[in-house]
Amino acid sequence: MEIVQYPSEILIEKCPVYDYKTMAEDIVSAVEMQTIMEPLKHCAGLAAPQVGIKRRFFVMRDGLSCFKYCFDPIILSHGRDAVIGGEGCMSLGFGDKERGGIFVKAPRWRIVTMEYTNIKGVRVQETFKSLEARVCQHEIDHLNGLLIIKTEDDGG
């Protein structure tokens, strides 16, 4: 399993509605994604399309050494204020000095409440703040075929 790089088509395609029949297989993939992330301390999250899997799930860091698996995530609500902050993306070479990875300023909600299915198959709601809220929004964008950059195709 390797991180897919832009301009791969899978990065700009919306993932279909989540099929819970694939969850056991997706858990195996999510564990592999965590293995990719572990040595990359600058990698806060990784979405399935970033490893070539067109399904609605992602893995994110939950503190320094813990990881959270989020299957079929949706943002239910967000706070009133947004903040502009720096973001990189592993699929845009973030952390790769040789490739000159892209780092941009992006507006994100400071607080989000997300609903997702956890690794135990339980549907949960959780509120995230600051960096974790930013990561949730960034990874859900990946599931919707959105990147932190604009391409020439869309006039950006």
32 assigned to active site: no
What's the rounded Cα separation, in Å, for the pair 1 and 126? 29
pLDDT tens sequence across 59-98: 999 876 799 999 999 999 999 999 999 999 999 987 665 6
pLDDT tens sequence across 87-139: 999 999 876 656 567 788 999 999 999 999 999 999 999 999 999 999 999 99
- Residue 103: what pLDDT? 83
Instruction: Dig out the tokens for 82 from the structure.
Output: 């947004």
**Which of 32, 126, 139, 152 is labelled catalytic?**
139
- Residue 62: what pLDDT? 87
pLDDT tens sequence across 4-55: 999 999 999 999 999 999 999 999 999 999 999 999 888 999 999 999 999 9
**DSSP per-residue string spanning the chain:** -----TT-GGGGSPPPSP-GGGHHHHHHHHHHHHHHHTT-TT--EEEGGGGT--SSEEEEE-SSS-EEEEEEEEEEEE-S-EEEEEEE-GGGTTT-TTTT--EEEEEEESEEEEEEE-TTS-EEEEEEEHHHHHHHHHHHHHHTT--SS--GGGT-
Burial of 14 (0-12, 13-18, 19+ CB in 10 A): exposed
Global confidence as pTM? 0.91
